[in-house]
Amino acid sequence: MSGPSLNQNFNQTQTLAPQMRQSLEVLQANTLELQQLLQQFLETNPVLEHELASVSLDDLDSNTPDPDPLLEVPDDDLRELAIMERRANGSTRDDEERREHLYSSIVSPETLQQHLLDQLNLAAPEPDIRTAAMALIGNMDERGYFDEPLSEVGRRLGIDIKNLERSKILLQSFDPPGIAVEDLRESLLVQLHRSGRLNTLEFRIVENHLNDLARKHYPKIAQACSVSVEAVVEAATHIGQLDPSPGTSFDPSGNPYIIPDVSFEKNAEGEWIAVLTNEYLPRLRLSDTYKDLVATSPDRKLRSYLRNQLRDGRTLIKALDQRQATILAISEEIIRRQIEFLENGPRSLSPLTMNEIADSIEVHPATVSRAVAGKHVRTPHGVMELRRFFASGYTTAEGQAISNEGVREALQAIVEAENAQKPLSDSAIQKALAEQGLKVARRTVAKYREQLNILPSHLRRSF
């Protein structure tokens, strides 16, 4: 039996430095996410200030001595002391107003629940109804639908079912119309009722024939309602204008508000250029007060702490500058390769890979991938994701390269031009694309059709 032994193993691992992780986080964040990140940095790093005019890194104090690695970073009490020192040494009213302006301008999107609670406070119902209404608000999903039946909510929370039903009616009178419901049918009925269409054909169809409406069985609905097919088609058009998910406009995770990071536009000479939308981002600088305090404070721990914060602030500002420079370089290269798209629209989008852009601007392809993730660009043809410019493509019969986006655009045009009473099958669309010189497989047609939210032919048929 052998005794215990000691073994020494060497493993080589690679870890990212905190500064590198921060730079990657800043690079990957879209504009709204970056606003929130910068707010966090401003709240936790007292040496960072928001200014209305940008400051170059060259303006930073390069003579600040390096921190002593033997000194410890002070605790929260010392951090409080640093903040108090700043307030006592030159923090002006303008400084405070600028910081307050930043905090007021960077806010989280309002949720559906917050929106309803605000209306509930204004309505001021009796206590029992208010309690029941708050319970129902807490049991709504992002669409404005209840997660479970009212009876289950009442049983679980010990709330009288009559109070729940009364509070449900109250909530259905709030904005947006169509919330506080159990299913799609009820949501549509509430929207019709709120718009004064209680005794209409649309209301009858939703109330009694919603499944047939989804399948476009217009003749069957017309026979059941004793009206013409044309009247049913017109009513279906009006019903289609209702919102099936009225609460989602308040869902922060859905991010309904897109702020482009860059804009493609023409300059005075008529040339296409990329312009960063910097106005949406706070501009940061390092506090002169704290830089002076590093040189004058007799407290070694305070000096060490502030040096660390100044170093972190420089790293953040450099990461922001690098982010913007990378996005601008990628955008300028996209413009150079996609002039036809800018002039003629998505049909003229050329195939492009991230490797091609990375080689042109001399960065790693992973950097391009991170830089375009979640970013949007304002173009003459609408706001679109930067990532949409990177796609493989096809070669037409004439030898012209066309991207996947161009094929989808062609497919969309074919479907829009089809006879609504005889919609084209995927095979027919495949043949129509082939006639335009675009040879794609039928399964590819089906995939692109689904990506465009186009229904199969039997569900697109109108009677």
Largest CA distance in the chain: 95
Check residue 351 and report its DSSP letter. Answer: P
Domain formed by 393-460, architecture: Orthogonal Bundle (1.10)
The letter for the amino acid at 133 is A
366-393: pLDDT as tens digits? 888 888 888 889 998 888 888 888 866 5
What pLDDT, on a 0 to 100 scale, did the predictor assign at position 109? 60
- Residue pair 407/440 in contact (Cβ under 8 Å)? The answer is yes
Least confident of 86-100, 328-342, 444-458: 86-100
7-40: pLDDT as tens digits? 555 554 444 566 677 777 888 887 777 887 888 8
The letter for the amino acid at 433 is L
- Residue pair 275/266 in contact (Cβ under 8 Å)? The answer is no
Per the prediction, the chain carries an average pLDDT of 77
The letter for the amino acid at 156 is R
What pLDDT, on a 0 to 100 scale, did the predictor assign at position 330? 93
125-176: pLDDT as tens digits? 888 888 888 888 888 888 888 877 888 888 877 888 899 999 999 999 998 8
Q: Kindly give the interhelix angle for 127-137 and 150-157, rounded to the nearest 10 degrees.
A: 110
What pLDDT, on a 0 to 100 scale, did the predictor assign at position 93? 54
Nearest to 339 by CA among 348, 351, 331: 348
If you search the block for the tokens 């929207």, which residue do you land on? 191
Least confident of 59-73, 271-285, 366-380: 59-73
Residue 363 has φ and ψ, to the nearest 5°, of -135, 170
Alpha-carbon torsion angle 44, 45, 46, 52, nearest 10: -100
Alpha-carbon torsion angle 212, 213, 214, 218, nearest 10: 80
Which residue did the predictor score with more confidence, 361 or 398?
361
pLDDT of 303 strictly over 50: yes
Indicate the pLDDT class of residue 46, thresholds 50, 70 and 90.
confident
Average pLDDT over residues 248-277: 78
Please give the C-alpha separations between residue 365 and each of 274, 326, 355, 394, in angstroms, as whole numbers: 21, 12, 5, 22
Helix (H, G, I), strand (E, B) or coil at 457: helix
What pLDDT, on a 0 to 100 scale, did the predictor assign at position 345? 79
- Residue pair 357/333 in contact (Cβ under 8 Å)? The answer is yes
What pLDDT, on a 0 to 100 scale, did the predictor assign at position 80? 39
Residue 318, classified by CB atoms within 10 Å of its CB into exposed (0-12), middle (13-18) or buried (19+), is middle
pLDDT of 61 strictly over 60: no
CA distance 48 to 67: 18
pTM as predicted:
0.50
CA distance 183 to 306: 57
Domain ranges of the chain: 112-250, 393-460
Least confident of 68-82, 267-281, 319-333, 352-366: 68-82
What pLDDT, on a 0 to 100 scale, did the predictor assign at position 5? 54
